[in-house]
């Protein structure tokens, strides 16, 4: 009761700490921040560092910075690659979202990739505590994705969600409010971008950056053949003579480039289905599989995965927001959470 009362005087926050994007929701107000998980750091001549930009502004600096500025993605492949910068980023986003704060420091629920080590979980909690959180809860990504996709996670039924983010694809089977089974592979959006860079280098002798590859994936990427293939022009540096040049690329090329990674995602899904207890598997056969995360937006991925596992596959509404929305819903039940398994 007392804790409930305290909650009325502070803006509790829900944070989806993604490897590609970080979203912050303020309780009762909705999404306050939706920005890339990138930090630009400037070093002075004594080697001292200071934050130059965080989020969208920092992402625009990636690959374009002079020597004394570094644009860093502190979370990579679903793990914390740089603790110090992750902490700076969490602190920056909390302070920005909580600037119109009540007179109490907030309680914060943070969604973290499945399978972070105890040390990484501790680091995330400590960053939020040192940024002024009164209490920090952690929730794992597949669970938040399932809640955000509107699946009836509390029912005694099996639900299967596949969250394809930037660094990881997380597959989870939920039932009775918990994760029964989960698998995380380091094959997701970033890996697809890298596969496109490599394919274009190998087949066209053209060097392109990650940002250009990501644009190609979003603009013309497809998991299945299209009735009318899409075409676009891509600019880069010729590997042989070093000149700047442009070539025509089709959706068929991008599909070929992404094929091995998409096969890995399909194989991971198959292995989770094989391990799912029969009672829950029956529910999944009936209800199908739900895709969340930015990767769910790849053209035809639902059909591709449905063909691979011979089950219906659906795309969640606003898949890029599903994890954040799920974390936000968990925040609304934060008083309940104090007694449940979410508490770390
Ligand atoms: N329309 C689209 N088509 C294909 N991919 C897309 C599209 N829009 C976004 N993406 C990709 O989705 C990924 C980001 O997704 P999301 O924000 O769900 O990841 P994240 O939660 O930050 O990462 P993680 O779940 O690994 O922590 C990026 O790789 C981005 O390129």
Model confidence pLDDT, tens digit, residues 195-245: 999 999 999 999 999 999 999 999 999 999 999 999 999 999 999 999 999
Q: Which residues line ligand 1 (CB under 6 A)?
A: 18-21, 78, 113, 141, 163, 165-168, 188-190, 214, 217-218, 221, 293-295, 297-298, 320, 323
Instruction: Give the number of the atom of ligand 1 that is nearest the alpha carbon of residue 322.
Output: 18
SS3 for the chain, per residue? CHHHHHHCCCCCEEEEECCCEEEEEECCCEEEEEEECCEEEEECCCCCEEEEEECHHHHCCCCCCCCCEEEECCEECCEECCHHHHHHHHHHHHHHHCCCCCCCCCEEEEEECCCCCHHHHHHHHHHHHHCCCCEEEEEEHHHHHHHHCCCCCCCCCCEEEEEECCCCEEEEEEECCEEEEEEEECCCHHHHHHHHHHHHHHHHCEECCHHHHHHHHHHHCECCCCCCCCEEEEEEEECCCCCEEEEEEEHHHHHHHHHHHHHHHHHHHHHHHHHCCHHHHHHHHHHCEEEECHHHHCECHHHHHHHHHCCCEEECCCHHHHHHHHHHHHHHCHHHHCCCCCCC
Residues 91 and 21 both lie in one domain: yes
| Across 85-114, average pLDDT | 82
> Which residues are annotated binding-site positions?
19-21, 166-168, 214-217, 294-297
Distance between Cα 293 and ligand 1 center (Å): 6
Same-domain check for residues 271 and 158: yes
Q: In this structure, are 330 and 340 located in the same domain?
A: yes
pLDDT per residue over 31-88, tens digit each? 999 999 999 998 888 878 888 899 999 988 877 777 788 888 998 877 888 888 888 8
132 plus 238 within the same structural domain: no
For residue 242, the domain's CATH number is: 3.90.640.10
Domain span including residue 97: 1-37+77-150+321-344
Q: What is the CATH number of the domain that holds 95?
A: 3.30.420.40
**Given 25, 57, 72, which residue is the final one in a domain?**
72
Domain count, the chain: 4
- Residues tagged in the binding site annotation for ATP: 19-21, 166-168, 214-217, 294-297
pLDDT band at 341 (very low <50, low <70, confident <90, very high): very low
At residue 120 the predicted structure's pLDDT band, cuts being 50, 70 and 90, is confident
Whole-prediction pTM:
0.90
ipTM reported for the complex surpasses 0.95:
yes
């Amino acid at each position: 009761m007392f804790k409930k009362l305290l909650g009325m005087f502070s803006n509790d926050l829900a944070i989806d700490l993604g490897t590609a994007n970080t979203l912050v929701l303020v309780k009762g107000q909705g999404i306050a921040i939706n920005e890339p998980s990138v930090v630009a750091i400037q070093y002075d001549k004594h080697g001292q560092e200071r934050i130059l930009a965080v989020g969208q502004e920092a992402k625009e600096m990636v690959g374009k910075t002079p020597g004394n500025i570094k644009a860093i993605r502190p979370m990579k492949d679903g793990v914390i690659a740089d603790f110090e910068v992750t902490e700076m980023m969490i602190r920056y986003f909390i302070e920005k979202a909580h600037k119109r704060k009540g007179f109490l420091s907030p309680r914060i629920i943070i969604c973290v990739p499945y399978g972070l080590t105890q040390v990484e979980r501790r680091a995330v909690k400590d960053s939020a505590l040192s940024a002024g959180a009164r209490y920090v809860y952690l929730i794992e990504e597949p669970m938040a994705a399932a809640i955000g996709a509107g699946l009836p996670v509390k029912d005694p039924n099996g639900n299967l969600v596949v969250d394809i983010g930037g660094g990881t694809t997380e597959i989870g089977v939920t039932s009775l409010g918990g994760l029964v089974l989960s698998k995380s592979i380091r094959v997701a959006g970033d890996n697809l971008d890298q596969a496109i860079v490599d394919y274009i280098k190998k087949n066209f002798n053209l060097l392109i950056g990650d940002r250009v590859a990501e644009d190609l994936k979003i603009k013309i990427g497809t998991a299945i053949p299209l009735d009318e293939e899409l075409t676009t022009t891509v600019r880069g540096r010729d590997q042989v003579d070093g000149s700047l040049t442009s070539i025509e690329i089709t959706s068929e090329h991008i599909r070929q480039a992404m094929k091995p990674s998409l096969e890995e995602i399909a194989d991971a899904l198959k292995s989770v289905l094989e391990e799912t207890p029969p009672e829950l598997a029956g529910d999944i056969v009936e209800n199908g599989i739900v895709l969340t995360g930015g990767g769910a937006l790849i053209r035809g991925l639902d059909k591709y995965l449905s063909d691979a596992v011979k089950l219906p596959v659906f795309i969640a509404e606003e898949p890029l927001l599903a994890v954040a929305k799920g974390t936000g819903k968990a925040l609304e039940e934060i008083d309940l959470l104090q007694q449940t398994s979410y508490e770390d």
